Structure formats: C-alpha cells, structure tokens
Chains A and B, each alone.
Chain A
C-alpha cells in the first residue's frame, strides 16, 4: 500500500512548476473571478437561495477537472467550480442556474451548486453528502458492462461528507467492485462551523484508505503544483487499473459555508496555519518568482476572465425565469404513468 505524506511546501524553494500549472491557474483565476461576481450579485439581492464558493480550494478542484478526459465521469461537490469549468462546464450553466433561467440545465427546478449534465458525464449532486460516491461507482460499472475502455471516475467530497454512512458504503463498494475511481477529499477544516476535533478522531483521514482497500495520498491543497502532481498521479494510476485512489487535501475554507455565513467562528489561530494560505495567491507568487508569465499577460488573463464572466451573467440575466402556471409539473418521464391526482 502506498502512503505518500506530502510535504507542507511553505518554506520550500520554488521548483519548476507542473507542466499544466498555467493552464490550471487560469481555471482558478476564472473561478475566483466568477465566484466574486456571484457573491456581489447575492449581496445585491439578485440571487435567491444561496451562493457557495470554493475560495481556497480552487487548486485542488482545478486539478480534479483537468486530468479527466472525454468519457470519464465527474462527480463534483459544493466547492468545485474550478473543476467543473476545467471539465468543460460552460459558464452559462453556472449563471443560468444561480439566476434561475429557464434555459439553464436545471431550468429553475434546482439551483446554485446542485447542477449537472449527467449525459455529458457531469453528475448532478444531491445535498445528502456521500450519496454521489456509489452513484459514480455504478456509472463506472455500467461502462465496464458496456465494454468501454480507458475511463475513470472522480468524485469530490469534503472531510465533513467523509463522516456519513453513505460515504463509508460508497468507498467500500468501490473497492469491492474494483472500479477505476479517484476520490478527492478536501479537508477544509470546517463542516459548516464544526472543526475537525468534533468531526473525526482518527490521526489522519488518509489512513482510512488502507481500511477500504484504496491507495491513499496526502496533499497540501494550497500548492498547485503538488495538486497537479498528486491528483494527476492518482488519475493515472486509476486509469492504469490500480485499486481505487483516495487523495486527502488540506486547505482552509476561505469563506463562510455559504455567503449567508460570516464564518466568525473561524479562529485566528487556524488562519495562521500553513494550510490557511490562499492557493491563488501562492500560485501567483510562483508565477512571479519563476517569471512564468509577464505582468502584462497576467493582466490580460484577468481581463479576459472578467469579460467571460460578465458576458455569462448578462446573458442569463436577460433570460426569462420559469413560471409556475407554465411549468410542466411532472416528476416522471413516462406520461402514461402519471398519477391522476393534481
């Protein structure tokens, strides 16, 4: 069983970045830009429900989306905008879902991060944590039944979701079925307001890998190169037929649970931890230190991200919302079997 304890990279000298570093950085930048806009819209009362962002988790998430290929299954969770975008989710899917456009993938029937395009292999999460692990396993079993080759699945979870019964059942059945699955668990140190000491009592969450028959890896989630290396490696191993892979990344959630939450419970002490660094700033520091891109190009990239986000928001804002009296109130696809009670 492989167990790689990754170094905390706070004091390490800049080394050459991963070959996909800049590509991943641009997904992170786009995500941060998008989510800052979504937060503004929410504070301005233009988004109903909630806004849930992945600030501080973009490096882990971008790495998740980046290594998936056409035909792979992706089960993103609440803080995976970067991964969703890198996997190919159009920005319009995001803005249409948040703004309740009838033209979005969820058509106003579900909102915010509960979106997906199952037929394009991006599963639509439910709020019940851990539930999507076994769903991903089943999708991979189906691909195997159908004789497809070279596919993998990647499912995201947090340390909070790792404590559910569904997660336990899902991990166990993944190993029993020996499907090519990577689970990326991001320990952002808070399940809403609850800290790790009231979430679990094991020494390290990655130790669970061996108990399920997974191969496990730890990761400093603030270090983009490390994210790309470790998650990329896990994806490669799953694709090569190794047992299911568990990656546990350590970060601090740099936002509330949702934007309704001021996160005043986050301690000053934890904010000084190495895992509390902002992965986007760390990546930008690496870019500057190694002179990977000049300042002008970086400014261009930022402007481009803002323009894309603005366009996606403007388009969705122009679109009609769903209407109760025009809605097709039918929860099943076989019309002959709709119950007569209305």
Chain B
C-alpha cells in the first residue's frame, strides 16, 4: 500500500473529525459529494454529516467565522481553495486571529490550510507561497510540511495547538510524494529535520524545495561533494539551532525558498546565521528564491521562475568553490 501527500492530509482530517467533536471543516466546495478542489476532503461530508461545510466565496467571513467558533471552544479547519486567495482573509488572520491572545489572553485555535506553491500552468493567482507574509506577523504558527509523514502528523498537531496555525501544504507534492504508511507519531513542530547528511555545504529549505535540494545533493555527490539538506518543517517557529549546528559542520550555507525574493524566510535564515554564526561561515551565505515577478503561466517560464535543480546546483557549486 502507498499513500500520497494529499491522501495523508485527507486521512489526518478524517482522524481529527473522528477523534474530536470540536473539529469541523469550513471552506469552498469542501462538502457535499465534491470534497474540495483537490479532493482533500473527499468523502468526509458523508462520513461526518454537518461537520464539513461548504461556504460562499467569502474568505474573510470563512476565517472570521472560524475565529468566532474557536473562541467558543471549537477547533475549526478552514480550507482556502488556493493559498493565493487567503489574501482576502489576511485581515482576519493577521489582525484578528494573530492579535487575539496577546490582547485578550484568550487563544484562537484555528487551522487555516493553504494549498500553496506552483504547479505547471497555474499562473499568477493559483501558485503563490504565502508563508513569509504569515510568518512576519506575530501570533501565528506557520507550518510547511515537505513529506507525507509530516503532512499527516503536523496537521493533527496544528489542530491540537491552542494558537492559530497557517498550514502551508504544497500542491506540487500532492500526487508526486508517496509513503508506504502513515506514522503514529510525529516530530514536534519547531524541530527541523536533517533530510540528508553532508559536510561540505548546508542547504536549508522547506516544503517542495526540499526535494529540489535533495536532487541537487544527489547530483553533486557524483562530483564528490557531500551536501547536507535541512528541512525546516515549520518556518515559524524557525529552528535556528539545527541550522547553526549544520553550518558549524559545513561552513557554507545556501537557503532555498519558493516565495518571492524580497525579505521572507530565506532572508530570515541568512540573517540569523550571519548574526549568530558568523564565525562558523567560510563563505558569504547565499539564498535563492523565485524571481521578483508575478508567477508565469507557461511551463517554460514557470520552471525558470521558481528555483529549480539546475539553478540550485549552479549556486551550490559557486559556493563550494569559494
């Protein structure tokens, strides 16, 4: 038997609905016989009547309602149809959910699922990675699972966490990634994973870019380089210690993210490594992001817009030569 990243997300939600009566799922097209634009809730409305609810195309109100329900003791999961549309709900997520515990001492346990990242032909409004925006604001946990196992256990953990969680699931991994079985226990959020050990260069990444980094590490192994790949798992909290310990071993750091280049997760990782681990670095730390343009539609342009294995390898080789 094998299970995909997408099926893991569905299974996690089925388990959550089964185990906890406070959980309900709220989003566009999640209910009925349809089960979501990507089928992440397929069959759940039938299995759990009244708890998997279609909403109008009202991202602000979807999250607002989830906040109100969470304050009243529920554990809502909001599915955004695409991460891109969560921009409509930014106010509720950042200014309402994100400030609520600080202001009132009452936490807001909502989970907002964001089908994130690029896939071929999806264009400017169905491809975005929003994690850097959410991580910038106080009061939110931002998860970016890169494996089937993490997709499953981190979603279960997200709902258990008393604070608002933005769960960035990568659409490119939905069908590409498979595991033999689902884990019974996960690594706690806030702990990064060493996806591949190495001693010459550290590549820090998260979500789909972990797999690009692993492909580059494999490729450069053929050239005699041992590259360590770190999967951040969550970008907030950010596991600085694991990054620094790796840089202490390798002396070189490249950080790769799929979101836009100005600021963001990769800049944060580099800033922390430079501030706290300057003495560990043998070369200036580098980062690689998508280009500073909207995300293009055509596959030829799209694959050149995002950081790809070829670009990562070029950047890695340059760093290794220094």
- Which A residues are within 8 Å of any B CB, using their own CB? 73, 105-107, 109-110, 114, 116-119, 123-124, 126-128, 131-143, 145-146, 165-166, 169-170, 172-173, 176-177, 330-334, 336-341
Contacts and interface: CB of A to CB of B under 8 A. Distances in A.
Nearest to A179: B65
Contacts of B73: 142, 146
Interface in B138-169: 138-141, 161-163
Interface stretch (B98-106, B122-130, B248-256): B98-106
Interface of B: 22, 24, 55-56, 58-74, 76, 91-92, 95-96, 98-107, 138-141, 161-163, 188-190, 236-238, 240-241, 268, 272
A268 B236 CA distance: 55
A177 B100 CA distance: 24
Contacts of A132: 64
Contacts of B72: 138-139, 142-143, 146
A146 to B, nearest CB: 7
A131 B95 contact: yes
Given A105-B104, A123-B71, A339 B56 contact: no
Contacts of A134: 58, 60-65, 67-68, 92
Q: Identify the 9 closest CB pairs spanning chains A and B, nearest first.
A: A138-B68, A134-B64, A142-B72, A138-B65, A169-B61, A139-B68, A134-B61, A331-B138, A169-B58
A333 B103 CA distance: 12
Contacts of A332: 101, 107, 139-141, 163
19 contacts: A126-B95, A131-B96, A133-B64, A134-B60, A135-B64, A135-B71, A138-B65, A139-B72, A141-B74, A166-B92, A169-B59, A169-B61, A176-B56, A177-B65, A334-B161, A336-B188, A336-B190, A340-B238, A341-B240
A117 B104 contact: yes
Contacts of B56: 169, 172-173, 176
Given A118-B71, A135-B92, 17 more contacts: A118-B106, A124-B103, A133-B64, A138-B68, A142-B68, A142-B71, A146-B73, A165-B60, A166-B91, A166-B92, A177-B65, A331-B139, A332-B139, A337-B141, A337-B190, A337-B237, A340-B241
Contacts of A337: 141, 161, 163, 189-190, 237
B305 to A, nearest CB: 29
A130 to B, nearest CB: 8
Contacts of B68: 73, 123, 134-142
Contact of B236 (A118, A119, A135, A339): A339
Nearest to A146: B73
B163 A333 contact: yes
B99 A126 contact: yes
